[in-house]
């Protein structure tokens, strides 16, 4: 792979991770007042309308028939699955606790990158990736997973579907482009999302606080659209397994946001776990190809 292209992929990927880092804190703020199902379909509907405008303005060609199923997988995984599962999980756990599970996402993305993207990282890559994931799992168990089994299981399910959506979208981005992939996936799901949004809309919005509205705006514009534009381009240019390891940095940024914006408690153990998984990304990057 061309060095400049690979470096560009890492830069795009890092911007995507920075944007995604605010997703769980923003979702946590939003579900304080919004129903998780409404939040999921509303963010997809808002982003879908914007994506449709972008596609029409740029006069993009429609995907070919062979792209429909992969786009549907992206829509089910990233537009609906991950947002809904995390929103439900955040009714049971804090965003600081859920963010640590993001440390499992690079491993899930790498596995699906092999299955769907045909990538073949070197054996040492899997050691670093698995070690980072083991640190995260050990932390969750040490915190007492029985305290909120529903929240933890929902987060694990969210990680699996998200890894699939990331890998599938990255493969499509090699042909269609990063922003086109997420835009078409959003447009594909738009009719259903608008219908569900109208059906689940709160009867009264007067009691919804400002933090919830800010959270909805953030996850609709940045988490659901802008972040994916950078992320899919980064994965397509730098490699799914390699750039996917940047997600190990996401807990660090997310914990900082959870502590500063939501005033949630962030323990030293959370930071130690984060530092451990961040160290793993260095080794994983070295052996990704």
**Interval 69-90 mean pLDDT:** 93
Residues whose CB falls within 8 Å of the CB of residue 256, separated by 6 or more in sequence, listed in order: none
Residue 288's pLDDT band (cuts 50, 70, 90): low
Please name the residues in contact with 240: beta carbons below 8 A apart, sequence gap of 6 or more.
Answer: 109, 110, 112, 113, 117, 119, 166, 167, 170, 171
**Mean pLDDT value of segment 16-20:** 92
* Dihedral pair phi/psi, residue 91, rounded to 5°: -80, -15
Higher pLDDT, 128 or 63: 63
Smallest CA-to-CA distance from 235 within 159, 278, 288 is with 288
Task: Judge whether residue 146 has pLDDT over 60.
Answer: no
Instruction: Answer whether residue 189 shows pLDDT above 90.
Output: yes
8-state DSSP, 67: G
Q: What is the mean pLDDT of residues 164-171?
A: 91
Residue with tokens 């994506």: 51
* Predicted pLDDT of residue 193: 97
The whole-angstrom separation of Cα 96 and Cα 93 is 8
More confident residue, 287 or 196: 196
Say which residues have a Cβ less than 8 Å from residue 284's Cβ, sequence separation at least 6.
Answer: 106, 125, 128, 129, 132, 242, 245, 248
Q: Say yes or no to pLDDT of 154 above 70.
A: yes
Name the pLDDT band for 143 (thresholds 50, 70, 90): low
Tell me: pLDDT of 141 over 80. no
Question: Per-residue confidence at 99, pLDDT binned at 50, 70, 90?
Answer: confident
């Amino acid at each position: 792979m061309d060095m400049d292209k690979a470096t560009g992929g890492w830069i795009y990927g890092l911007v995507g991770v920075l944007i995604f880092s605010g997703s769980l804190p923003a979702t946590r703020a939003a579900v304080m007042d919004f129903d998780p199902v409404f939040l999921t379909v509303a963010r997809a509907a808002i982003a879908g309308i914007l994506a449709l405008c972008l596609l029409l303005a740029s006069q993009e060609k429609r995907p070919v028939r062979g792209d429909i199923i992969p786009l549907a997988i992206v829509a089910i995984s990233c537009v609906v699955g991950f947002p809904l599962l995390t929103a439900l999980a955040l009714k049971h756990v804090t965003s600081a606790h859920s963010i640590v599970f993001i440390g499992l996402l690079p491993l899930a993305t790498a596995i699906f990158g092999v299955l769907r993207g045909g990538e073949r990282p070197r054996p040492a890559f899997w050691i670093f990736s698995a070690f980072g994931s083991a640190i995260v799992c050990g932390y969750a168990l040490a915190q007492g997973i029985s305290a909120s089994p529903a929240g933890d299981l929902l987060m694990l399910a969210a990680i699996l579907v998200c890894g699939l959506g990331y890998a599938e979208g990255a493969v499509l981005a090699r042909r269609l482009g990063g922003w086109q992939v997420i835009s078409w996936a959003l447009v594909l799901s738009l009719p259903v999302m608008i219908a569900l949004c109208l059906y689940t809309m709160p009867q009264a919005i007067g009691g919804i606080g400002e933090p919830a509205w800010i959270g909805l705006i953030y996850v609709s514009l940045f988490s659901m659209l802008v972040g994916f534009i950078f992320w899919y381009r980064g994965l397509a240019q730098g490699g799914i397994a390699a750039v996917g390891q940047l997600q190990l940095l996401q807990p660090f940024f997310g914990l900082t946001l959870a502590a500063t914006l939501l005033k949630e408690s962030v323990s030293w153990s959370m930071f130690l776990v984060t530092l451990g998984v961040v160290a793993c990304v260095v080794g994983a990057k070295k052996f990704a190809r």
